Structure formats: structure tokens, C-alpha cells
Amino acid sequence: MSTPSLTRVDPTLDPGAVPRAVTLMLHGGTQRSTDPVGSRSASWHRMAAIQRRITPQLHAEGIASWLLRYRVRGWNGDGAGPREDARWALEQVRAAYGEVPVVLLGHSMGARTSAYVADDPQVAGVVALAPWWQPDDPVRALRGRHVVAAHGVADKITSARMTRAFLVRAAGVAASTEYVDMGRVGHYMLRRVDRWNDVAVDGVLRVAATATV
């Protein structure tokens, strides 16, 4: 099996300095597949494009952006693979910078993965773009975290209605929840690209501002 990898883009820092926070970006996937996430993965490239666009604004605020590439494409029933890879990436953040706050920025399956690993003590919150959240996904990992979710009503792959329902459940444990209506756009963020990028960077900056790690 392939190994997970990270595309790290860190701000220029004085020797010995650390970023104010790290944004860990998690790309989408598919329901079932054990195929490796290769260099031609559209899901990975989608998040890589967002990383390129939002990194200058994040760096201006002293925030690094790290993009995880999973080992395999699929959720595969219980999400064990993506969840293990995300926890591995969080360990890499710790190894590099110690107890720096982390904001999870995920699209689709990446947002679903975020909701499972947000209980890591360094995670301040989750910014979810067109999340693939299901009625049986637990919300307990979001306890005390801030959650921002953006969804378009024309999404035929994942459900804006399910996203709102998930946020209602999460409101019972999360520090805060927010829903951003993206209007009549679909799942793959191919329309209103600038708006998706703005929501991503704004959400990351606002969640990072709450961090007390």
C-alpha cells in the first residue's frame, strides 16, 4: 500500500519561530476504492488549487498550509484509512512545530474525516466545504471545537440538507457552528471558485483566532 504524504507550505519565519497555526487540508475521495491516490487524482488537485490560492493570505497571518494525500481513495465503510492518515498528519505537525493550533479544512470526504479526528487536542475547529456527512456520523469529536460548513443547494453528490442536520446535532457539543449557503452551485467547486476560496480562508482565519492551544 502507498504511504500518505504532505504538501507543506510554511510561512517564512525567524530561526526557531513557529507558525501561529497550521491549516491541515484534507481532500475528497469516493465511497469505496483501494486504489492509491496518485498524481492525477482530481480530488487531490482540487484541494491543491485551493491551497495555492489561499496560502498567501494565510501566510500574511502567520499560518502554514499543509495538504494531506491519503494512501487510498475510498472511505471503505468506516473511514479507517482516511482517519488514520489524518491522525498521522497531525502527528507530523506536532513533530515539526510542537503544540501549535490546527484548523482542519476538508472537502467532501475530507470534511467527513475532519469530523472524526477533530478530537485531537491541537485541533481548534473544522472548516468543511461541501461535506459528505451522514446521519450516523458521530459528533462527539467536535466537542468544544468551532465548525464552519459551506454547501451549495445544487450539489447532487453530497447533501446540503444533511449538512444542516449534522450541524444541528453538532451544536449540542461544539463551541460554535455556522452554515454558509453557497447558492446554486454543485459539489466540485467549479463555479464561484473565488467565493469558495474566500469562505475557506475566512473560516480558517476565524477558527484560528479562537485557538488557545
The domain locations on the chain are 5-209
* CB-based contact 147:117 (threshold 8 Å): no
The neighbour count for residue 78, using CB atoms within 10 Å, is: 9
pLDDT at 1 over 90: no
Beta partners for 102? 22, 123
Phi and psi of 186, rounded to 5°? -95, -160
Gap between the Cα atoms of 45 and 61, Å rounded: 24
Q: Which of 66, 51, 54 is nearest to 19 (CA)?
A: 66
Tell me the three cell numbers of residue 85.
Answer: 492518515
pLDDT at 179 over 70: yes
Gap between the Cα atoms of 115 and 55, Å rounded: 23
Q: Is 137 in a helix, a strand, or coil?
A: coil
For the question of whether the overall pTM of this predicted structure is more than 0.75, the answer is yes
Span 52-79, average pLDDT: 97
Q: Is 55 in a helix, a strand, or coil?
A: helix
Fold of domain 5-209: Rossmann fold (3.40.50)
pLDDT at 2 over 80: no
| Dihedral angle sign, alpha carbons of residues 105, 201, 62, 47 | positive
